[in-house]
């Protein structure tokens, strides 16, 4: 029999007595689970299977209220030859790689600055999480406003200090729009990972750091050679999580850039969204969503393995 | 970074003291700079809500605060009142269903053994790593066939798809940390397992359940994408209403900011708990 739980928590003895339970209690466990299973079956498992079915069908909702015929793998085959899809995959990578790297680096720098429990640090931490509790849609639309070349505060600052550069059409320039999307994403997520890293830093054993200090090692060396290796498990999980979050990021694309200018910020989730709900091509959109989902399932499995591994 | 300097060592290096003091003020300046960088945009949006439309643009730091945006937002065509009511009802409905359902499931996962073992709740959590678009396409078709598009009930159902897995995971983590002794004692006293759960475990687990409820509140209140797809007019919630400030004859930024104020306000009220739930929440629950 497998162990009841990997973390060896107090539930182990309860599980061991399972057979000894009165009959009524043996049914209780399923009764307790049933509502949640029902909810998940209706809102998660059924839609997942259904979209997999749609992905093998020819179906434009604008033409017909029901699927128009079995297409086999034709949608998938068409996708792999579709330059728009491949372009969108490239845009997704161009967003994901810098946003993950910068978020982790910025969050770690912030964590090192704020790990102390001084009054300034504690207050700063409380204030820094406020943007994270904001609706992503509000974040996107707020930055769209602040980056507006006519009305935005960013351009007003540029006009004041570097009048030659104004107006800066950030969101209408392909490269700058992507940079802004990445910067706003880092702004959104860095405080959250900062809190995670502060927790991890506090859990580091002090003796190795102290010993290195006695030996006269500098702070930079201590960080890279002593602290960083011990932080790897947490960093790995944080990088995986942020990669997943970046790959599925959609709200800010819709509210800030709408995929533009042109298709410069048209990431895969946004392309699925427009294909399904602007062009009503349900079959094609579902196939696209499943190709993205396969990549993310791989990452989710890696994540599960690391989480299970680190709790042992 | 003094966090890693053993205080006992500082007296050893006398000449290091001044350098350390310079380092500390540099560090404090960096902390203040970062905090300003993260908080100022939020304050800017909140201030915009109180600026007259003519001054919403540009760098106007000094302005005569006005409540006219507030009145304009509640009128036609923005209907902030009805959007606010939708947001409140959808969030309340989501929590009213999700929290009891998740608590029961979390207890079952924590105290009983199931086929599939300890992986089941993690699999549930892992479904949340899939892109939401994949879930919303079939939901859209189902609600369309049932004539439930643009209803609050459809949004509540859609919200359950992400609130229940997260809440179950978080509450289960809390149950795992509670000793089983009390329940066993209650059962020996003749209480059934269900009675033991209701009268012994749930009261002790209130902090964990509250943490999950706060998390669920934040994600449902801020939810944008499902509402964007599934609503059009009657059931539009606050985050989607932001888009309406954009399209009506140009961009009404001061209306957008006013709506934003109502989206942020509850977050500020609970911000004291927010930090705690972020630490205790998603990643630490997962990193544990």
* B256 has a chain A CB within 8 A of its CB: yes
Mean pLDDT within B88-102: 95
SS (H, E, C) chain A: CCCCCCCCCCHHHHHHCHHHCCHHHHHHHHHHHHHHHHHHHHHHHHHHHHHHHHCCECCECCCCCCCCCECCCHHHHHHHCCHHHHHHHHHHHHHHHHHHHHHHHHHHHHHHHHCCCCHHHHHHHHHHCCHHHCCHHHHHHHHHHHCCCCCCHHHHHHHHHCHHHCCCCHHHCHHHHHHHHHHHHHHHHHHHHHHHHHHHHHCCCHHHHHHHHHCCCCHHHHHHHHHHHHHHHHHHHHHHHHHHHHHHCCHHHHHHHCCCCCCCCCCHHHHHHHHHHCCCEHHHHHHHHHHHHHHHHHHHHHHHHHHHHHCC
pLDDT at B285: 41
* Contact (CB, 8 A) for A113 and B1: yes
A47–B137 C-beta distance less than 8 A: yes
Mutate to test the interface with A, among B1, B2, B3 (most CBs of A within 10 A): B3
pLDDT at B197: 76
* Contact (CB, 8 A) for B32 and A121: no
- Band (pLDDT 50/70/90 cuts) for residue B118 is confident
* A27 has a chain B CB within 8 A of its CB: no
The DSSP code for B177 is: T
* B272 has a chain A CB within 8 A of its CB: yes
Mean pLDDT within B27-52: 89
Here the ipTM equals 0.84
| Pick from B122, B144, B279: nearest CA to A202 | B279
For residues B194 and A108, the model is more confident at A108
B31–A114 C-beta distance less than 8 A: yes
How many whole angstroms separate alpha carbon A194 and alpha carbon A103? 9
- Taking 90 as the threshold, does the pLDDT of residue B116 lie above it? no
Assign B118 to helix, strand or coil: coil
Largest Cα separation within chain B, whole Å, is 78
**Minimal Cβ distance to B242: which of A133, A137, A222:** A137
Lookup: tokens for B24: 């500390």
- Taking 50 as the threshold, does the pLDDT of residue B7 lie above it? no
User: Mean pLDDT lowest for which of B152-156, B188-192, B239-243?
Assistant: B188-192
| Pick from B75, B57, B246: nearest CA to A137 | B246
pLDDT single digits (tens) A262-297: 899 999 999 999 999 999 999 999 999 999 999 888
Residues from chain A that touch B90, judged by Cβ atoms under 8 A, are: none
The architecture that CATH gives domain B71-287 is Orthogonal Bundle (1.10)
* Contact (CB, 8 A) for A209 and A226: yes
| Pick from A247, A238, A251: nearest CA to A268 | A247
Question: Could you state, in order of their start, the residue ranges of all structural domains in chain B?
Answer: 2-48, 71-287
How many whole angstroms separate alpha carbon B88 and alpha carbon B68? 24
For residues A225 and B36, the model is more confident at B36
Instruction: Please state the separation of Cα B185 from the chain's center in Å.
Output: 37
Q: Which residues of chain A have pLDDT under 70?
A: 1-25, 308-312
* B226 has a chain A CB within 8 A of its CB: no
Size of interface A-B (CB pairs under 8 A): 344
pLDDT at B207: 81
Is the domain covering A84-310 a CATH 3.30.70.100 domain? no
Phi, psi dihedral angles at B63 (to 5 degrees): -150, 160
Element (H, E) at B164: helix B152-176
The DSSP code for B2 is: G
| Pick from A25, A3, A45, A29: nearest CA to B105 | A29
* B126 has a chain A CB within 8 A of its CB: yes
**Minimal Cβ distance to B260: which of A21, A131, A138:** A138
Residues from chain A that touch B114, judged by Cβ atoms under 8 A, are: 29, 33
pLDDT at B183: 75
**Minimal Cβ distance to A219: which of B1, B109, B124:** B1
Question: Could you state, in order of their start, the residue ranges of all structural domains in chain A?
Answer: 84-310
Q: What is this structure's pTM?
A: 0.85
* A199 has a chain B CB within 8 A of its CB: yes
pLDDT single digits (tens) A234-256: 898 889 889 989 999 999 999 99
């Amino acid at each position: 029999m497998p162990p009841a739980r990997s973390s060896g928590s107090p539930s182990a003895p309860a599980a061991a007595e399972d057979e000894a339970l009165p009959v009524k209690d043996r049914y209780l466990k399923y009764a307790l689970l049933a509502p949640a299973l029902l909810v998940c079956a209706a809102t998660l498992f059924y839609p997942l299977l259904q979209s997999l079915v749609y992905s093998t069908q020819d179906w434009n909702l604008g033409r017909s209220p029901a699927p128009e015929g079995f297409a086999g793998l034709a949608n998938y085959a068409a996708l792999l030859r579709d330059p728009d899809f491949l372009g969108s995959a490239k845009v997704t990578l161009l967003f994901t790689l810098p946003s993950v790297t910068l978020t982790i680096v910025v969050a770690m720098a912030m964590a090192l600055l704020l790990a102390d429990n001084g009054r300034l640090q504690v207050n700063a931490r409380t204030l820094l999480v406020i943007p994270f509790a904001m609706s992503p849609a509000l974040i996107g639309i707020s930055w769209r406003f602040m980056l507006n070349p006519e009305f935005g505060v960013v351009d007003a600052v540029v006009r004041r200090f570097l009048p030659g550069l104004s107006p800066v059409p950030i969101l209408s320039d392909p490269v700058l729009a992507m940079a802004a999307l990445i910067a706003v994403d880092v702004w959104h997520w860095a405080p959250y990972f900062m809190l995670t890293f502060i927790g991890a830093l506090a859990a580091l054993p002090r003796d190795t750091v102290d010993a290195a200090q006695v030996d006269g090692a500098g702070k930079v060396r201590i960080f890279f050679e002593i602290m960083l290796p011990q932080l790897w498990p947490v960093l790995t999980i944080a990088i995986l999580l942020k990669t997943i979050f970046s790959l599925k990021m959609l709200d800010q694309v819709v509210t800030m850039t709408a995929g533009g200018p042109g298709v410069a910020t048209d990431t895969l989730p946004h392309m699925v969204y427009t294909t399904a709900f602007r062009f009503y091509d349900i079959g094609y959109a579902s196939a696209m969503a499943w190709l993205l989902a396969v990549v993310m399932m791989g990452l989710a499995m890696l994540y599960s393995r690391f989480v299970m591994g680190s709790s042992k | 970074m003094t966090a890693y300097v053993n205080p006992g060592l500082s007296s050893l290096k006398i000449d290091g003291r001044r350098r350390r003091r310079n380092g500390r003020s540099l560090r404090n300046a960096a902390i203040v700079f970062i905090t300003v960088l993260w908080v100022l945009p939020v304050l800017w949006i909140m201030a915009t809500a109180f600026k007259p439309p003519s001054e919403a643009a540009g760098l106007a730091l000094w302005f005569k605060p006005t409540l006219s945006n507030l009145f304009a937002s509640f009128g036609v065509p923005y209907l902030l009142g009805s959007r606010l009511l939708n947001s409140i009802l959808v969030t309340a409905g989501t929590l009213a269903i999700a929290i009891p359902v998740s608590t029961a499931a979390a207890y079952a996962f924590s105290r009983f053994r199931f086929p599939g073992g300890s992986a089941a709740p993690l699999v549930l959590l892992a479904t949340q790593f899939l892109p939401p678009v994949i879930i919303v396409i079939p939901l859209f078709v189902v609600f369309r066939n049932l004539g439930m598009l643009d209803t609050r009930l459809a949004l509540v159902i859609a919200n359950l798809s992400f609130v229940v897995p997260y809440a179950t995971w978080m509450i289960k983590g809390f149950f795992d940390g509670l000793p089983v002794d009390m329940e066993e004692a209650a059962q020996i006293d003749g209480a059934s397992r269900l009675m033991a759960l209701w009268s012994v475990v749930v009261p002790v687990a209130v902090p964990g359940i509250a943490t999950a409820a706060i998390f669920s509140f934040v994600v449902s209140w801020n939810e944008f994408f499902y509402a964007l797809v599934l609503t059009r007019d009657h059931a539009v919630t606050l985050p989607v209403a932001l888009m309406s400030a954009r399209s009506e004859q140009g961009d009404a930024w001061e209306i957008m900011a006013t709506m934003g104020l109502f989206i942020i306000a509850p977050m500020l009220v609970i911000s004291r708990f927010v930090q705690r739930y972020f630490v205790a929440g998603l990643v630490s629950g997962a990193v544990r």
